[in-house]
Amino acid sequence: MSCILFVCFDSIRGHYASALVHLHSGLKILRDLNKISAADEYIIAMSLAPAFTRLSIQAVLYIDTTADQKAFALEMTEFSERQCQIPDTFSTVEEARDAFSQTTNCLFRTFYMFDLDLPFRAHVDILPLHAKYSKQLANWNIAYEKFVQKNNSSLNSNEIRGAAMLKVQYSAVFIMSDSGIPNADDPRSMAEILNDRKVFMRYHNDFENIVKLSRSLISASEADSQSGKPAFNFSADLGIVGPLYYCCIKCPDYTLRLAAIELLHRCPRREGMWDSAALVQLIRGFWEIEARHEALQDEIVDKNGKPVALNDLLKLVLKDGMKWEWRWKVVAWAPRLAGPHYTWAGILEDPTLVSVHEKDTNGP
């Protein structure tokens, strides 16, 4: 329990590297308890494991996906690999939340098994595991919908908000999972596919759900503040900040993007390692670079004369204190502009948007 408290304290202070160390220590202790203390299994399963699962999810999202950090992310999710049986319906919002957290944790583990530099067909050994947890996520949604339909009139205010929060998070995780299953014949790398805006057009309703439900939750929180109730501004668990950020980055509908960033601006809060105010600035910086890249799509080309995807040029590096920077990737070929008198980095780089222009020693 002390490890959980230290993770929360360090997250509040913005000391995320230290928070990850405490989380890592807590997971190790939890695995040891699972091995030697059968008498405490109920306490572990009902209290400690769900808390660590939720902390691991938001920590894994924060960890950079370079090769050396990938092993760390896999270890973060390893302990929750036990079977999660999704019931026909749930008895409580808390039961639904725990089942969702465990399913999401396992799904995120499969995400880190993919090599994004390779095409989809190169991952035949991972596909059954991904399909297993995607099916589990679908079963969770069926059980959740039955629970809400059956108990909607009897849920109190906090339970209604909790159920809405779960739907926001489910919508984001569903998009992440489903968009990661492209056409097996697509020769492009998974990174290129997952950064193709056209891939996300079919998820308009899901992005819209994220925005609508988040707006309702924020409005309810604002009403609480106006009535004198204490404002909610920190949680060790993920809530709506992550899904709204994901909508701002991936949604192809600019109207929904603008609505999502407006909601992030309206709700100054920190959810674990994610700070809404810092994310607003990060998103705006990304949009500026994205717009410049799109304007130069016919000019920024690779050695074969094909347009270069933005993810092949740029990477996001997150640091302590929710500080961030865009870094140019080192690539085996030199991107060039088809038009005269330009350099690709000079066009995209702006000191107000890109804080550091340095080589990434880990490569693309």
> Rounded distance, CA 253 to CA 268, Å?
24
89-121 as b/e: b if 16+ CB within 10 A: bbeebeebbbbbbbbbbbbbbbbbebebeebbe
> Rounded distance, CA 364 to CA 361, Å?
9
pLDDT of res. 343: 44
Pick from 175, 253, 162, 269: which is nearest to 213 by CA? 162
Task: Print the SS3 string covering 65-116.
Answer: CCHHHHHHHHHHHHCCCCCCCCCCCCCCHHHHHHHHHHHHHHHHHHHHHCCC
Q: Helices 49-62 and 93-113, interaxial angle, to 10°?
A: 40
Pick from 107, 229, 87, 66: which is nearest to 161 by CA? 229
| DSSP tag of 54 | H
Tens digits of residue pLDDT in 209-251: 999 999 999 999 888 888 888 766 656 677 899 899 999 999 9
pLDDT of res. 218: 93
Q: Enter the tokens of residue 197.
A: 């805006």
> Rounded distance, CA 293 to CA 297, Å?
6
Whole-number CA gyration radius for the chain: 21
Q: Enter the tokens of residue 232.
A: 């909610």
pLDDT of res. 36: 54
Domains in the chain: boundaries: 1-63, 296-364
> Rounded distance, CA 15 to CA 7, Å?
9
Pick from 326, 287, 334: which is nearest to 308 by CA? 334
Residue 242 and residue 274 in contact, taking contact as beta carbons nearer than 8 Å: yes
> Rounded distance, CA 143 to CA 137, Å?
10
Residue 46 and residue 17 in contact, taking contact as beta carbons nearer than 8 Å: no
pLDDT of res. 70: 56
Q: Where are the alpha helices (DSSP H) in the chain?
A: 2-13, 16-36, 41-43, 49-62, 67-78, 93-113, 127-151, 157-179, 190-194, 204-226, 241-250, 254-266, 276-295, 344-348
Residue ranges of the chain with pLDDT lower than 50? 65-67, 332-348, 350-364
Non-local (6+) Cβ contacts of 2 within 8 A are: none
Coil, helix or strand for 275? strand
User: How is the beta sheet containing 274-275 ordered, strand by strand?
Assistant: 234-235, 270-271, 274-275
Tens digits of residue pLDDT in 65-78: 444 555 555 555 55
